[in-house]
Amino acid sequence: MFVNSVSAISVGSVCGIYASSDAVSRRIEREIRTASLKSEIVAVSKGFMKIEVNQMNAFIQRTIE
């Protein structure tokens, strides 16, 4: 579970992250909570910012390698 501390809103679809085990899930959660995701964020219309699915997938892949 995540706290929406930046008041992000859903624009389009929302994706979940599924892991092969609880240990992997906790590791991904820990990495997301401590990572700087600024390099993964892209601008969209009306000043909104988002992380594309492919960018989040790449981040997760780097995390679990």
- The predicted-structure confidence for 15-61, as pLDDT tens digits, reads as follows 778 788 888 888 888 888 888 777 777 777 777 777 888 888 888 88
- The most distant pair of C-alpha atoms in the chain lies apart, rounded to whole Å, by 38
Q: Could you read off the pLDDT of 40-53 as tens digits, one per residue?
A: 777 777 777 778 88
Residue recorded with tokens 């909570």: 33
Q: Supply the range of the domain harboring residue 64.
A: 38-65
What pTM was computed for the model? 0.58
Examine residue 46 and state whether it is found in any structural domain, yes or no.
yes
Examine residue 50 and state whether it is found in any structural domain, yes or no.
yes
Examine residue 58 and state whether it is found in any structural domain, yes or no.
yes
E strands in the chain = 41-43, 49-51
Say how many domains are in the chain.
1
Angle between helix axes 22-34 and 53-64 (nearest 10 degrees) is 110
Cα separation, 28 vs 59, whole angstroms: 9
